[in-house]
Structure 1
Amino acid sequence: MNTTLMQMTVLMLCGAGWRVLMPNRLSADQTRLVLTSVVYYFFMPVMVLDVLWRADIGWQSLQYSALGSISILLSIVASWMTAKLCRFKNQQTGAVILAAAFPNVTYLGLPVLEQIFGDWTRSLVIQIDLFAEAPLVYTLGIMLARHYGATGEPKPKSVLAFFNAPPFWAAFVAVVLNLNQVPIPFWLAGLLQKCSGAVAPLMIFSLGLALSWRDIRVRNLPFIAPTVLIKLWLMPLIALWLANLLNLTGHPKAAAVMDIAMPSMVMGIVLCDRYKLDSGLYAMAVTVTTALSLASLPLWYRVL
């Protein structure tokens, strides 16, 4: 576990170093936009197709979906109650809820779990992402961002429009092929596996590009402290309790709970920018929770 996190840390630091050195005058934000776009529009759909085509889709898929969805919903309630109790302003409330409730299940969870438990965790991560977190981000997450953000936003598109995306289409095709027991051609299987191998390092490097120590401000500590407690400790406890209720055992249980224990998702910064939430606070939450997860994840690994 420690060796895996050391490897991930070095790769993230390479991404963070890019922000300082700016090779060929390419800023970290420009580079991250290109890399995440390539992953989102090509490598991620390919990996989704590869994994879900082979996956054992059934009762366990429902367990993963329920675990992820309920963990996120209960964490939203906990962070909302905390914001109310502490009387946070709307812009900070929205940022805290997004940072505390939505984990980085794919960009960090995928490479970490794959290194610790093996390739089979790709299916687990993708199912938690596509069947639990992503639908909630594109529906409830956007509703919360709009509610707590600045007014005057144009009328949003249909919710269904957000699912008109390459990963969701790849998941739909893969599930259809899987349920109809269509075999994967040998040549295609090799191609899909080679492309899938590029996802993890690109994700980790992109995460490093997103980290910015300049966003850390002392004035944000009252907002960051409860965010860290909910994201890195309360949410995994909720997931562990749910895993026991759902009768998950062994490595699937450990991997699923650890995926929920990942730090704040990077994508939330996009929602904060679009809906005028406190983007600096959210960026600080991503940086701090990611750094502290290097200590919390080994502890959860020992517990599980």
Structure 2
Amino acid sequence: MTSTLIQMAVLIACGAVWRIIKPGSLSAEQTRPVLTTVVYYLFLPAMILEVLWTSKIGLQSLQYTLLGVASLFVGMLCIWLAGRAFKFENKQFGAMLLAAIFPNVTYLGLPVLEQTFGAWARSVAIQIDLFATSPVLFTAGIMAARHYGEDNSGKHPSVLSFLNAPPFWTAIIAVLLNLNNIAMPGWLAGILQKLSAGVVPIMLFSLGLALSWRAVTYRNLPFVLPVILIKMVLMPWFALWFVGLLTLGGGYKAAAVLDIAMPSMVLGIVFCDRYHLDSSLYAMAVTVTTALSLVMLPFWHGILMKMSF
């Protein structure tokens, strides 16, 4: 696990260094949208098609959904109680809510799970993302961001907008092909494997581009501490308990819990900007929880390896 995280950290550091030195006069703000757009529209759908077409789909997919949704709502309850207790201002609380609830299950979770458990674990990360995290983010997450922030655009996108997305439609196609026992042609498998190979390094490099230590300020520390506690301790602990109620195999349980233990997702900064939440606070939460994950992920992995599921 430590060796895996060192490799991940080096790729993330490459993005962080690019952010500082700006090769070719390309800033992180210019580079990251291009890379993430290519991943979102091409490389990630290719991986989703490859993985879900050949994975075991059925009862365990429902269990990933139950685990993911339950963990997210426990995180939501915890941050709501913290907000009631400390009476945070709306813009800070909205950013804290997004940072505390939604883990980086794809951009960091997918490569970590693949390197730690093997290629089969990609299916775990993808299913938790598509069947749990994304639906909750684009429904309850958007509603919370609107409630605690401001929307001056005059446009109100549907909370089901995640349905109109390449990864989602690719997942539907892959599941239909899988359930109908349609074999994947060899030539197509080769193409998808080559496209899929680009997902992990580009994701990790893009994550490094998104991290900003300038956002780490003493002023934001009181707001980030509850996020750290909920995101890196309480949610994984709940997932560890809840997964014991499921009938998944031991390896699948460990991979699912470790995915829930990922740091705050990068995508939340988009919602903070759109709904005028505290973007600087959210950026600090992402940066700090990602740095702490280098310690906390091996901690949770060690506990999972000692468990007799």
Query: Given the two structures, how large is their TM-score scaled by the length of structure 1?
Result: 0.98
Distance 2:200 2:62 in 1: 25
Runs of 4+ residues deviating >6 angstroms:
none
Query: Residue 177 of structure 1 corresponds to which residue in structure 2?
Result: 177
What is the Cα deviation at residue 151 of structure 1?
Answer: 5.0
Q: Report if the CA contact (8 A) 1:272-1:282 is conserved.
A: yes
Query: Residue 69 of structure 1 corresponds to which residue in structure 2?
Result: 69
Q: Report if the CA contact (8 A) 1:243-1:257 is conserved.
A: yes
What is the Cα deviation at residue 227 of structure 1?
Answer: 0.5
Q: Report if the CA contact (8 A) 2:138-2:160 is conserved.
A: no
Query: Residue 214 of structure 1 corresponds to which residue in structure 2?
Result: 214
Residue pairs, 1:30-109, within 5 angstroms = 30-109=30-109
Letter in 1 for 2:110: L
Distance 2:90 2:151 in 1: 11
What is the Cα deviation at residue 29 of structure 1?
Answer: 1.2
Letter in 1 for 2:299: L
Query: Residue 126 of structure 1 corresponds to which residue in structure 2?
Result: 126
Query: Residue 277 of structure 2 corresponds to which residue in structure 1?
Result: 277
Distance 2:252 2:161 in 1: 32
Distance 2:143 2:154 in 1: 13
Q: Deviations over 1:234-253 (max 9, x none)?
A: 00011111101123341111
Aligned length: 304
Residues 1:156 and 2:148 aligned together: no
Q: Deviations over 1:240-283 (max 9, x none)?
A: 11101123341111110000000000000000000000000000
User: Any idea what SS the aligned residue of 2:160 has?
Assistant: helix
Identity of aligned residues (%): 62
Residues 1:245 and 2:245 aligned together: yes
Gaps of 5+ in 1: none
Query: Residue 267 of structure 1 corresponds to which residue in structure 2?
Result: 267
Distance 2:246 2:3 in 1: 31
Distance 1:126 1:47 in 2: 9
What is the Cα deviation at residue 160 of structure 1?
Answer: 3.2
Distance 1:46 1:202 in 2: 14
Distance 2:178 2:151 in 1: 44
Distance 2:185 2:247 in 1: 35
User: Any idea what SS the aligned residue of 1:280 has?
Assistant: helix
Letter in 1 for 2:62: L
Letter in 1 for 2:243: A
User: Any idea what SS the aligned residue of 2:103 has?
Assistant: coil
Query: Residue 234 of structure 1 corresponds to which residue in structure 2?
Result: 234
Q: Report if the CA contact (8 A) 1:52-1:178 is conserved.
A: yes
Distance 2:74 2:150 in 1: 25
Q: Report if the CA contact (8 A) 2:139-2:160 is conserved.
A: no
User: Any idea what SS the aligned residue of 2:57 has?
Assistant: coil
Distance 1:139 1:246 in 2: 26
Q: Report if the CA contact (8 A) 1:153-1:275 is conserved.
A: no
Residues 1:203 and 2:203 aligned together: yes
Q: Deviations over 1:53-90 (max 9, x none)?
A: 11110111111111001100110111111011111000
Distance 2:268 2:86 in 1: 22
Q: Deviations over 1:208-236 (max 9, x none)?
A: 00000000110111001110000000000
What is the Cα deviation at residue 155 of structure 1?
Answer: 4.0
Residues 1:18 and 2:18 aligned together: yes
What is the Cα deviation at residue 150 of structure 1?
Answer: 1.9
Q: Report if the CA contact (8 A) 2:52-2:175 is conserved.
A: yes
Distance 1:142 1:151 in 2: 11
What is the Cα deviation at residue 162 of structure 1?
Answer: 3.1
Distance 2:226 2:248 in 1: 29
Query: Residue 300 of structure 1 corresponds to which residue in structure 2?
Result: 300
Letter in 2 for 1:139: T
C-alpha RMSD of matched pairs (Å):
0.9
Letter in 2 for 1:159: V
